[in-house]
Amino acid sequence: MEVKLAEALLRRKELQEKVDQVRKVKENTIYDTNIRRVNVAEGIDEATINSCKLTLKEVTKEYDFYAKHLRLIDAAIQQANWTTAIQVDDLAMKNFEEDKVETSEK
């Protein structure tokens, strides 16, 4: 499939955001926290139970999907980066040279 470089750059950004979202899944979004009062022993009267809302397999599967697609689009962009020449003004490629800079000191 042929796409414009701008489209590929946008897709890379979208995929990176998805990868970041899935990577940052917090424990409290994977688990439901249920608190119930239990008198087990002296001084202990609460127990917390976590039950899964998602499995690690589900999260990993989605992460792997987006990460793979991100690598593919990034590889295509990098190939274009190394093989495409562009026209730029000569001034854009010059380095700073202090003795050639005009100053307004009197």
Q: How many domains does the chain have?
A: 1
In a domain, 80, yes or no: yes
Extract the tokens encoding 40. 């087990």
90 in a domain, yes or no?
A: no
Residues 41-63: pLDDT tens digits?
Answer: 677 666 666 677 777 788 888 89
pLDDT in tens, the chain (106 residues): 889 999 999 999 999 999 988 887 755 567 666 666 666 667 766 666 667 777 778 888 889 999 999 999 999 999 999 999 889 898 888 888 877 666 565 5
With respect to residue 92, please indicate whether it lies within any of the assigned structural domains: no
Rounded Cα distance between 29 and 11, Å, is 26
The pTM is what? Answer: 0.60
Q: Residue 72's domain spans which residues?
A: 5-84
Does residue 12 lie in a domain region? yes
**Residue 101 included in any domain:** no
